[in-house]
């Protein structure tokens, strides 16, 4: 090994607000420190966190022992909060917070394994998804706090959808720039139709169907990115079924290439913020292999109707928008 060719690790960046930014990979992910999230964020710190988020796509905080109210206050520094989820309700005292336990993933895995052959297409993209794209206005940012974390396992992967688009050949980019895809809930989402009992807040529980551009323009940075979701994208409009599936398979492969990814190892009190406008994620990636408890709580910052490279704006085909908490 030629030691002279090794590149030094990028030095931590110290901002005017005392936020410290330490990149994890050259293309996605940064550890943030120098801020105590139990305290209200001042404008300069919030701006520096947002700038780091737009540069590194997902940011990680450690040792943030915060309450539910402090979690929500942190999220509101970046915009109004949504309800916990369009289908599943949040905590009774905190309707903005969606609590997930690893047992729920195991139940869904068992149900999927027991589906009769031929009842559903055998598509398996290892849990990769963008949050809540079956609504026409998916959330802007997602914020996840580790409440009960096992000593090992339960990692989350994130991938940079802007880099994935930029890695495509110009001819493929031109092909997909003017295409739209349908995103919708399925009978297998979050316990299926059995889970769709009336909500405490009176909101509808779906089904939800939306039409989105296949290539989205990031509303803050102006960059183009792949906007497709293995969990909810059913087909590309205007293509034959075999053409649609072949193109989606190609794009899913590109979107989840290892060189565009970062892997986060959770620890108790960790907090992750990702730009849901530019990132897909998968996790916990190994839930079927361990029996240890794992509980996380998520809030989401409200988003807008995505705009495509051809200026097409997303449309709700069925179901209401993902409106903010009143």
User: In sequence order, what E strands does the chain have?
Assistant: 13-14, 20-23, 30-33, 58-61, 98-101, 141-148, 156-160, 180-184, 209-213, 215-217, 224-226, 233-236, 261-264, 271-275, 279-282, 295-301, 315-318
pLDDT at 127: 85
In the residue annotation, 281 being an active-site residue is answered as yes
Active-site option among 183, 212, 281, 297: 281
Question: Whose CA is closest to 236, among 302, 308, 166?
Answer: 308
pTM of the model: 0.88
In the residue annotation, 298 being an active-site residue is answered as yes
Distance between CA atoms of 102 and 91, rounded to whole angstroms? Answer: 17
Q: How far is CA 182 from CA 152, 215, 231, in A?
A: 37, 13, 12
Instruction: Provide the 8-state DSSP code for 31.
Output: E
pLDDT at 156: 96
Distance between CA atoms of 235 and 272, rounded to whole angstroms? Answer: 31
In the residue annotation, 129 being an active-site residue is answered as yes
- Residue 113, classed as helix, strand or coil, is helix
pLDDT at 193: 47
- Residue 225, classed as helix, strand or coil, is strand
pLDDT at 8: 42
Active-site option among 183, 294, 297, 298: 298
Tokens of 50: 């947002």
| Full 3-state SS string of 42-56 | CHHHHHHHHHHHHHH
Active-site option among 48, 57, 131, 216: 131
In the residue annotation, 36 being an active-site residue is answered as no
CB atoms under 10 Å from CB of 136, counted, come to 25
- Residue 251, classed as helix, strand or coil, is helix
**Ramachandran region, residue 316 (left: φ > 0; alpha: ψ -120 to 50; beta: rest):** beta
Place of tokens 């690893």: 102
Question: Tell me, which fold does domain 11-318 have in CATH?
Answer: Double-stranded beta-helix (3.60.130)
Question: Whose CA is closest to 173, among 244, 103, 250, 119?
Answer: 250
Instruction: Provide the 8-state DSSP code for 101.
Output: E
pLDDT at 120: 45
pLDDT at 190: 47
**Average pLDDT by consecutive 10-residue portion of the chain (326 residues)?**
40 77 98 97 97 98 98 97 92 95 60 50 68 96 96 94 98 98 72 60 83 98 96 94 96 97 97 98 81 91 97 96 76
Active-site option among 62, 94, 129, 196: 129
pLDDT at 7: 40
């Amino acid at each position: 090994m030629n030691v002279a060719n090794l590149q030094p690790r990028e030095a931590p960046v110290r901002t005017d607000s005392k936020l410290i930014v330490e990149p994890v990979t050259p293309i996605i992910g940064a550890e943030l420190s120098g801020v105590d999230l139990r305290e209200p964020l001042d404008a300069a710190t919030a701006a520096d966190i947002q700038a780091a988020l737009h540069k590194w796509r997902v940011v990680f905080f450690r040792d943030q022992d915060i309450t539910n109210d402090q979690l929500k206050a942190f999220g509101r520094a970046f915009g109004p909060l949504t309800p916990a989820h369009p289908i599943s309700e949040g905590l009774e005292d905190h309707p903005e917070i969606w609590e997930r336990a690893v047992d729920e993933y195991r139940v869904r895995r068992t149900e999927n394994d027991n589906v009769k052959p031929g009842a559903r297409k055998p598509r398996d993209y290892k849990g990769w998804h963008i949050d809540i794209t079956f609504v026409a206005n998916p959330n802007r940012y997602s914020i996840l706090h580790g409440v009960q974390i096992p000593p090992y396992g339960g990692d989350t992967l994130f991938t940079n959808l802007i880099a994935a688009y930029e890695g495509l050949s110009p001819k493929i980019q031109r092909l997909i720039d003017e295409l739209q895809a349908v995103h919708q809930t399925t009978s297998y989402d979050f316990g299926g139709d059995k889970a769709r009992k009336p909500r405490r807040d009176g909101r509808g529980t779906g089904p939800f169907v939306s039409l989105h551009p296949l290539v989205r323009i990031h509303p803050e940075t102006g960059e183009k990115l792949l906007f497709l979701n293995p969990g909810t994208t059913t087909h590309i409009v205007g293509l034959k079924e075999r053409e649609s599936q072949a193109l989606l398979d190609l794009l899913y492969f590109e979107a989840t290439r290892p060189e565009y990814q970062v892997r986060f190892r959770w620890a108790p009190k960790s907090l992750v913020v990702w730009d849901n406008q530019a990132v897909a994620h998968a996790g916990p990636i190994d839930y079927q292999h361990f029996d240890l408890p794992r509980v996380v709580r998520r809030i989401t910052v409200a988003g807008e109707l995505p705009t495509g490279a051809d200026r097409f704006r997303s449309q709700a085909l069925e179901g209401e928008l993902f409106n903010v908490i009143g």
